[in-house]
Amino acid sequence: MSQPDAAAVPSRSGAAIDAAAARGAAALVGYLPVGFPDVDTSIAAARAMVAEGVDVVELGLPYSDPGMDGEVIQDAVQQALDAGTRTRHVLRAVEEVAATGAAVLVMSYWNPILRYGVERFSRDLAAAGGAGLITPDLIPDEAGEWLAASDAHGLDRVFLVAPSSTPERLKRTAAACRGFVYAASTMGVTGARAAVGARAEELVAATRAAGAERVCVGLGVSNGAQAHEIARYADGVIVGSALVRTLKRADGDGRAAIGDLRALVADLASGVQR
């Protein structure tokens, strides 16, 4: 069965990445889970990231079994769930952050989307102004319903590749993605690291050779120097755990948390300049 042509629908996250390239930079992609430390603060934090230079925002939909996430994100997501954060709050956050003009993607494991309904979620995400969806535990071979729904509602779809991905897997993933391919630069769970994965540049080159138009690198970036290193060869730099950890450090002081977050994003934004 052939996959839909991902290039047939315009991509908002792709346009944001291309705009960054036009000004001589890699795109900065920032992740925060909705509902941590609370819904309102998470929305304010995401909007602050955009103001400081984030090009594409990833809003995490809290899930009870985030097996691919590290301890920092797991703890934040659990706090969001304990506080009652649900899909409706994520869609509200999408609408409020998209109002800044940034491309907003939802990052979600697949089970919550299935429970909500793939077509229903796609419709509601598009209505909220969302650009699309990142699905870390879904592969294109098993994504028929999502491929169809994303085409119907004009949504980006971002799948992951890893250093273990075979050439055939890279080719299938590159063909199915719209917006960019998410290259996980290290094996294992997410988390900020002292150094990014040594195989990241090789993985980006292999993914491009497999047909990907844009490749963004995530897992491990925690400062501007690392962002600059990745910006030399990737179309975008994805940061998650370092941003969440910054919010955690403020220990309940929302204003201080957002101030610290702004400072980190400013450092990252300076780093993605090529």
pLDDT in 10s for each residue of the chain, 274 residues: 444 455 567 899 999 999 999 999 999 999 999 999 999 999 999 999 999 999 999 999 999 876 677 789 999 999 999 999 999 999 999 999 999 999 999 999 999 999 999 999 999 999 999 999 999 999 999 999 999 999 999 999 999 999 999 999 999 999 999 999 999 976 334 444 445 556 899 999 999 999 999 999 997 899 999 999 999 999 999 999 999 999 987 666 778 899 999 999 999 999 999 7
| Measured distance CA(176)–CA(138) in Å, rounded | 12
Cα radius of gyration (the chain): 17
Q: What is the pLDDT of residue 10?
A: 87
Backbone φ and ψ of 21, nearest 5°: -60, -35
Q: Which two tokens stand for residue 167?
A: 């050439």
For the chain, domain boundaries: 26-269
pTM for the full predicted model: 0.92
Residue length, the chain? 274
| Measured distance CA(132)–CA(130) in Å, rounded | 6
| Measured distance CA(240)–CA(250) in Å, rounded | 17
Q: What is the pLDDT of residue 192?
A: 47
| Measured distance CA(21)–CA(182) in Å, rounded | 17
Q: What is the pLDDT of residue 45?
A: 97
CATH number of 26-269: 3.20.20.70
Q: What is the pLDDT of residue 5?
A: 55
**Angle ∠(8,13,16) on CA atoms, nearest 5:** 115
Catalytic residue ranges: 58, 69
- Residue 90 vs residues 43, 60, 185: alpha-carbon distances, Å: 9, 8, 27
Q: What is the pLDDT of residue 159?
A: 98
